Amino acid sequence: MTMGQPGDRFPLPAPGAYGKDGTMTCHLTTLELPGGSGTDIHDVTRQAAQAVRDSGVRSGLLTVHVPGSTGAVTTIEYEPGALADLKVLLDKLAPEGAEYAHDLAWRDGNGHSHLRAALMGPSLTVPVVEGSPALGTWQQIIVLDFDNKPRRRRVLLQVMGEAA
């Protein structure tokens, strides 16, 4: 790959500008969260920052991922009003008790859970800058569990990048 050639839409750093004297590392932390009441919302910002510290990564990426088709990850201002508003929005978009082809086929009653999870997505990537996730002051990372049965939800916090 050539860098910085005339006609490029934006300049790129020279090869090796990132991690030239460092060591790439990958670090995994898992969390277990309770869930199953319909829409459980967990603030995992503190655990995510701790996972980044534990990794030793100074610059790189944090990925928060929830395996499973009824869970999701996003960010929000974690305060009661915004959380209530989000639940109202999800109730409008994919109401519980509506008729879903998934429920007709599988009889598990969580068609709305799958749709809510699909809308919000299972993962979030946050840049790691100077050893911390680059989040706004009022921006918290939340894991949502939409399933309607009690279960323990596993969350993966994976940090990749250059250790100091």
Nearer to Zn ion, 55 or 110 (CB): 110
Shortest spacing between CB 114 and Zn ion, in angstroms: 6
- State the number of binding residues for Zn ion (CB under 5 A): 2
Shortest spacing between CB 92 and Zn ion, in angstroms: 21
Shortest spacing between CB 110 and Zn ion, in angstroms: 4
Shortest spacing between CB 159 and Zn ion, in angstroms: 31
Per-residue interface string for the shown chain with Zn ion, residues 97-116, x marking contact by CB under 5 A:
-----------x-x------
Q: Of the candidates 23, 115, 29, which has an alpha carbon nearest to the alpha carbon of residue 71? A: 115
Q: Of the candidates 96, 100, 107, which has an alpha carbon nearest to the alpha carbon of residue 37? A: 96
96 near Zn ion, judged by CB under 5 A: no
Nearer to Zn ion, 102 or 154 (CB): 102
Shortest spacing between CB 151 and Zn ion, in angstroms: 12
Nearer to Zn ion, 96 or 108 (CB): 108
For the CA atoms of 126, 127, 128, 130, what is the dihedral angle to 10 degrees? -140
**Which pair of structure tokens corresponds to residue 132?**
């911390």
Nearer to Zn ion, 24 or 118 (CB): 118
Residue 17, Cβ density class (10 Å: 0-12 exposed, 13-18 middle, ≥19 buried): exposed
Nearer to Zn ion, 147 or 162 (CB): 147
Q: Which residues bind Zn ion (CB under 5 A)?
A: 108, 110
